[in-house]
Amino acid sequence: MISFVNFSLLCKQKEASAVDQEKPEPVQIKEEQEELYTGQEGEQLILKEESETIMLHQRTRSTAKASVKCDVCGKTFKYNFQMKKHYRIHTGEKPYACSTCGKRFYQIYFMKYHERNHTGEKPYACNTCGKRFTNLSAFKKHAAIHTGEKPYSCKICGKSFTQSGNLTVHMRTHTGEKWYSCETCGKSFSRSSNLTVHMRTHTGEKPYHCNTCGERFKYAATLKNHMGTHAAETSHACKKCGKGTKGE
């Protein structure tokens, strides 16, 4: 027979158990993936990191905004974590460093791809010619050579591209958008590569050198023109002594 005291105690235990069951499980925030994926898993590196973060935001959507906007360029994002990654383009923050050479990156997967330059790992192989690549983007760009496929088309002028990134850059020629600015003179560019070349006017850097005479140049095109002078000297060289006549 159950006494009143025991019955009361049993009821309290059941109530406590019910409350525990109603409590939501604590959100487990996964650390960013540090292991390097290869083969088919390699192409999931970006998607895996972002899909897990999206799931986290969906579970905590009561405290998240419907959309967030970059206060620098106005670009909008569905999730705050996406905007934070994008914002590093403007701030220059690069939290991920290569353990071999120290080069820094603003996205972890860019660092992973870079590290393959040191390890020599090339997990992506072309089924047509067998050529191997360190990252999926380079592999897809190469594969388009065989297929001729250009699935990304400009809605304004109709020009087609093999990669979506190339289309994005091309669209800036229509919109006039220039994301990349020189910190020295303030001049802006639509491509980061154009900014890199422009910076040489301030730094004096000459990365291209002639293997024949050792002269250095700021631009690849200038080196190419210079090499033509050596080719002309060789074509007019004396067959006996080898001395060039420079165009005679």
Task: Output the pTM of the full model.
Answer: 0.38
pLDDT at 143: 87
CA distances 126 to 141, 156, 246, Å, are 11, 33, 45
Where do the domains of the chain lie, and which CATH numbers do they carry?
73-147 (3.30.160.60), 150-178 (3.30.160), 182-232 (3.30.160.60)
Q: pLDDT digit string (tens) for 86-124?
A: 888 888 899 999 999 999 998 888 898 889 889 999 999
Q: pLDDT digit string (tens) for 35-54?
A: 333 333 444 444 444 444 44
CA distances 180 to 32, 137, 188, 195, Å, are 28, 22, 5, 7
228 has pLDDT over 50 = yes
Q: Which of 72, 91, 79 shows the shortest CA–CA distance to 53?
A: 79
Q: Which of 97, 101, 125 shows the shortest CA–CA distance to 112?
A: 97
Give the Cα separation of 4 and 20 in Å (integer).
25
- Amino acid residing at 90: H
Burial class (CB in 10 A: 0-12, 13-18, 19+), 148: exposed
Give the Cα separation of 211 and 46 in Å (integer).
40
Give the Cα separation of 244 and 145 in Å (integer).
41
Model confidence at 229, pLDDT cuts 50, 70, 90, reads confident
Q: pLDDT digit string (tens) for 126-148?
A: 999 999 998 887 888 888 888 88
